[in-house]
Amino acid sequence: MLDIKKIYEAKERIKEVVVDTPFSYAPYLSNISGCEVYLKKENLQVTGAFKIRGAYNKIASLSEAERACGVVAASAGNHAQGVALSALKFNIKAVIVMPESTPLTKVNGVKHYGAEVILAGTNYDEAYAYALTYGKENSLTLVHPFEDEEVMAGQGTVALEILEKCEDLDAVIIPVGGGGLISGMASAFKSINPKIEVIGVSAKGAPALKNSFDLGQAIDSTSVRTIADGIAVRDTSKITLSHILGCVDRFISVDDEEIANGILFLLEKQKLVVEGAGAVGVAALLHNKLEHLKGKKVAVVLSGGNMDVTLLSVIIEKGLLKSGRKMNVTVTLVDKPGSLMRFTQILQELNVNIVHIAYDRTSISLEYGDAHVTVHMETKGEEHQSQIKAVLQEEGYLRG
């Protein structure tokens, strides 16, 4: 495992820049999961994610000559902002290579700190390959997001902060992408209190590291696809895998639907904006992936909050539909005066709030003299929706 001395040195090195983020009891999530759950809110960290810890520790540990040359990094966003801010603090040049699909909020976040941004590749691994070549050609020092002991040591400081606030912890749930965060944190936990169970959670759409953990050897995946872009890593790092195999007790994964539910839960119940990568631990608890933790004291790391607002709006809309608070209905009416009014009167009597309505009389699937009406409405849950469907069937608008 990583030397605990390095993690304590990192804590001292980064203390003037990094925030000791809140570690708070989550009563609603505790009640649902049956665990005593505490959230480590790295989404409230400087730059909105834990990555500033490792990035700053790495750059602070470079020689004057290395810093003078400037730095280069590849990142889907959070490491990029961490490197950019760290470079700004040291007044050195920073070039960040980001995948072409990186959300605009993360690109702008990097530019805000004065770094140059290059968009290259369809995922992190392709961006990294470009950064490696670019760095060599321009004599820049590479700041790797996870395959670096100083970076991992910086990430491990999250564990030290948790232990300062909660010594009698039973388990910790940590998001996993490249493995830098869990490598540093697991090393700290196992050095200080080996009884603490360390659990990694990845996205099913980025399975390389979990598959490697299960088989005990490095296995790469051919592609990645997940809404958790912060942990969408295609290839397995042999360096972080060695730490994970030595220090991590359990490794699970959650799918995009479960991650979306976790994001929505944190937004609605905890009043926290957390990106997909940061919500995987909560998703695992919400969907009963860790039944053995019931009755135990559990920490969950919310690793970042740099959420793409476009994706967030989609997640909210889908969440409202799934939870019975919104409903979309398409019916066929006779295209004559009063037909639409009669239909909307029925919805009014059912205490429905119409938020959008579309009227189509030209579709080739329609009989002449008919019209399709699509209504988006706010409802009061599944029971209310069942009542609406029953009445519309009774009135002949919907078939049974």
Q: What is the pLDDT of residues 351-373, one digit of tens each?
A: 999 999 999 999 988 999 999 99
Instruction: Give the predicted TM-score (pTM) of the model.
Output: 0.89
Q: Are 153 and 10 in contact (CB under 8 A)?
A: yes
Tokens 């999961």 belong to residue: 33
169 domain-assigned: yes
| Whether residues 119 and 180 fall in one domain | no
Amino acid at 304: G
- Asked if residues 50 and 155 have their Cβ atoms less than 8 Å apart, the reply is yes
Q: Are residues 45 and 166 in the same domain?
A: yes
Residue 282 has what pLDDT?
Answer: 98
Name the domain count of the chain: 3
Q: What are the helix and strand counts (H, E) for the chain?
A: 16, 13
Tell whether 87 is covered by a domain. Answer: yes
- Say if residue 196 is in the same domain as residue 308: yes
pLDDT digits (tens, 9 = 90+) for 109-145: 899 999 999 999 987 778 999 999 999 999 999 999 9
**Boundary-marking domain end, from 273, 303, 318:** 318
What digits encode the pLDDT tens for the residues 280-295? 999 999 999 999 999 9
* Claim to verify: residue 32 and residue 119 sit in the same structural domain: no
Considering the domain boundaries, does residue 300 fall inside one? yes
DSSP of 234-261, one letter per residue?
-S--HHHHHHHHHH--EEEEE-HHHHHH
* Claim to verify: residue 292 and residue 179 sit in the same structural domain: yes
* Distance separating alpha carbons of residues 285 and 35, to the nearest angstrom: 9
Looking at the structure, tell me whether residues 102 and 243 fall in a common domain: no
Residue with tokens 């400081």: 157
Picking from 275, 300, 284, the residue whose alpha carbon sits closest to that of residue 76 is 275
Q: Indicate if 71 and 138 belong to the same structural domain.
A: yes
Q: Does residue 274 form part of some domain?
A: yes
Average pLDDT over residues 291-307: 96
> What are the tens digits of pLDDT across the range 42-90?
999 999 999 999 999 999 999 999 999 999 999 878 999 999 999 999 9
**Do the beta carbons of residue 98 and residue 230 sit within 8 Å?**
no
Residue 248: CB atoms within 10 A of its CB come to 23
Of 90, 121, 142, the position where a domain reaches its end is 142
Q: Within this chain, do residues 126 and 99 fall inside the same structural domain, yes or no?
A: yes
DSSP 290: -
Contact, 327 vs 385, CB < 8 A? yes
Of the residues 142, 168, 203, the one at which a domain ends = 142
SS3 334: strand
pLDDT band at 154 (very low <50, low <70, confident <90, very high): very high
**Contact present, 276 and 229 (Cβ < 8 Å):** yes
**CATH code of the domain in which 376 resides:** 3.30.70.260
Distance from the first to the final alpha carbon of the chain:
62
Same domain, 15 and 88: no
Q: Domain span at residue 61? A: 53-142
- Cα Rg, the chain, nearest whole Å: 25
- H or E stretch including 30? helix 27-33
Query: In the chain, what are the helix, strand and coil shares in percent, each to the nearest 5?
Result: 50, 20, 35
Angle of helix 51-61 versus helix 4-14 axis, rounded to 10: 90
- Same domain, yes or no: 159 and 282: yes
* Confidence check: pLDDT of 219 > 90: yes
Cα–Cα distance list, 253 to 156, 248, 299 (Å):
22, 14, 17
SS3 110: helix
Location of structure tokens 């990294």: 128
Catalytic residues: 51, 303
Q: What are 274's two structure tokens? A: 């957390």
**Same structural domain, 210 and 102:** no
Average pLDDT for 165-169: 94
On whether residue 373 sits in a domain, the answer given is yes
Is residue 203 pLDDT above 90, yes or no?
yes
Whether residue 43 contacts residue 280, with contact meaning beta carbons closer than 8 Å, is answered with no
In this model, does residue 337 exceed pLDDT 80? Answer: yes
The Cα 376–Cα 236 span in angstroms is 44
* Sheet strands (E) in the chain: 23-25, 36-41, 71-74, 94-98, 116-119, 141-142, 171-175, 197-203, 250-254, 297-302, 326-334, 353-360, 370-378
Kindly tell me the burial class for residue 55, based on how many C-beta atoms sit within 10 Å of its own C-beta (0-12, 13-18, 19 or more).
Answer: buried
Residue 399 placed within a domain: no
Is the Cβ–Cβ distance between 56 and 14 less than 8 Å? yes
**Rounded-to-integer distance, Cα 13 and Cα 317, Å:** 43
Residues 169 and 40 in one domain: yes
User: Does residue 230 or residue 400 have the better pLDDT?
Assistant: 230
Q: What is the CATH number of the domain that holds 120?
A: 3.40.50.1100
Please report, rounded to a whole number, the percentage of residues in the chain having pLDDT higher than 90: 87
Q: Cβ atoms within 10 A of the Cβ of 104, count? A: 10
**Mean pLDDT, rounded, of the chain:** 94
